Structure 1
Amino acid sequence: MSGFKDHFSSASDRYAAYRPDYPAALFAWLASLCPRPGTSAECGIAWDCATGSGQAALGLAPYFRQVVATDASAEQIRHAQPHPAIDYRVAPAEASGLAKHSIDLITVAQAAHWFDLPRFYAEATHVLKPGGVLALWGYGRMVLPGKMDTPFRHFYAETVGPYWPPERALVDDGYRSLDFPFTEIEAPGFLIEVEWNLPRLAAYLSTWSAVKRFQDARGHDPLPALMAELTPLWGDVNTAKTLQWPLFLRVGRHQA
């Protein structure tokens, strides 16, 4: 997984607009792992690595004095939502430019499978304070309600399945096979939950790297055919339905 594989800059505006937000309870739990002695509930500095358009950084901001949010893609950073507590920077995961032992918490949301992990872990060990925390997380395919899940599962695995980068297998595995050389912390269960109508779901699916790669390879968009299958099963396409993704996490502490 060496080198920066940019699957998202060309869709960075859609990524910023349509990717789901992570649950607030996740950030509260992560912050609870790293309060600084002798301070209030506010923690020190978090590094949100591979921030994309800043979804996780924004979730961290209420709990930390500063959040440094980096991404190797300048285009992603350009579309990130500003916040007074967030310092957005263009930098690869493996060479953050952060000072040694300066970081209380490192978060990597839906991105660790793209990294050169040995180099990233070396960087994480360099910048984390003794006892600091690294949290990797992600989410796989949502499960659609009722009979809609059958065509959706086929779309994910068969229609665009051949166009997922090989690293996607690590997401489908829930990061269980990743080497993780930190003292592991058991994480509670967390869910992303949204209320979306069918056009909003289609907008999210347009951000999938496999959809973009399908379009480039085949010369047409695979989404209209899927929407044609889902529409009669959805009912009124403007009616919102509750959709969920379970999160998977690998969380550990740096023991210097």
Structure 2
Amino acid sequence: MMAKDNFSKQASIYAQFRPTYPKVVFDYLNEVVKNKNTVWDCATGNGQMARELAKTFEKVYATDISQKQLDNAFQAENIVYSIAKAEETLFADNTFDLITVAQAIHWFDFEKFYAEVNRVAKSGAVLFVIGYSMPRFEGIIDEILQDFYWNVTGPYWDAERKHLDNRLESVPFPFEKIECPHFTNEYRWTLEMAEGYFNSWSSIQHYIKKNGKNPVGEVIDKLREYWKEKQRVEFPLFTKVGRI
């Protein structure tokens, strides 16, 4: 199965407008992962997870299939970026204390990825998977954007998106599960921030390719009447955490 690259085209937008992850996520990882020598951030994108992991791990190896994503990634002396598929890397056996996957596992060949995880992880290492689906807003803004997500862009999402819509419950996870608290990301967005985020969606690129126009402008026009200067937006986060 060929790996899908749905984000190279809008890599700079992705880096600028995609949500990051709250400090409590990394506080949790620092608690459950005792040895902090090496971590593999798989499908790192622009290095959102790698940036925070580099603060407490000696070495962060961050991989992605998109060179354009890596070109927009955060740089640090102890982060090593490289091109690699999730299912096939050049890492040595028994290398990592922690493996992280943020907003990406739904694209993977699960069986092959987990085989690679078992190969490159140290005994007792942790696999941490995190993701999010459509954010929630307030009042009529949420009604407009839920319609935009499900009805306007809905037909243009890849089939793999279903795994995010059902909170990763359909993703197999053959590891000893570790208890994890519920995390939520909350922001105050301007309308311009929301527009940038929507333009980072892979479904928008598919829509443009088929229809020759971008639907984001139309929904932004609908929102102008209701949008406050800074509008509250909440990203419910969901996780799968396991001992390898």
The CA deviation at 1:244 is 1.1
Q: 1:241 Cα deviation (Å)? A: 2.1
Matches within 5 A, 1:93-108: 93-108=86-101
Letter in 2 for 1:182: F
* TM-score, scaled relative to structure 2: 0.98
Match of 2:199 in 1: 206
CA-CA distance at 1:157 after TM superposition: 0.3
Matching residue of 1:59: 52
Structure 1, unaligned runs of 5 or more:
37-42
In 1: Cα distance, 2:186 partner to 2:40 partner? 25
Task: Tell me the amino acid that sits aligned with residue 9 of structure 1.
Answer: S
Equivalence for 2:131: 138
Query: Which range is displaced more, 142-151 or 163-172?
Result: 142-151
1:248 aligns with 2:241: no
1:6 counterpart residue number: 5
Letter in 2 for 1:77: L
- Which of 210, 213, 218 lines up with 2:211 in the alignment? 218
Moved over 2 A (4+): none
2:75 partner letter: P
CA–CA distance in 2 between the matches of 1:64 and 1:96?
20
- 8 Å contact kept, 1:195–1:242: yes
C-alpha distance in 2, partners of 1:83/1:17? 18
Mapping of residues 61-76 of structure 1, within 5 Å: 61-76=54-69
SS at match of 1:9: coil
SS in 1 for 2:68: helix
DSSP-derived class of the 2:73 partner: coil
Match of 2:170, SS state, is: coil
Deviations 1:107-150 (A, max 9, x none): 00000010011010000000111100001110010111111111
**Which residue is 1:22 aligned to?**
21
Provide the TM-score with structure 1 as the length reference.
0.93
How many aligned residue pairs are there?
A: 244
The CA distance in 1 between the partners of 2:212 and 2:125, in whole Å, is 47
SS of 1:63's equivalent in the other structure is: coil
Q: Which residue of 2 aligns with 1:109?
A: 102
1:64 is paired with a residue whose SS is coil
Which runs of structure 2 are paired with 1:64-213 in the superposition (5 Å)? 64-213=57-206
Residues 148-189 of structure 1 show CA distances to partners (whole Å, capped at 9, x for unaligned) of 111100100000100000000010011111110100012101
Checking the alignment, whether the CA contact within 8 Å between 1:73 and 1:90 is kept in structure 2 is yes
Mapped to 1, the partners of 2:222 and 2:179 lie a distance apart of: 40
User: Deviation of residue 234 (structure 1)?
Assistant: 1.1
Deviation, structure 1 residue 31: 2.1
Distance 1:46 1:195 in 2: 31
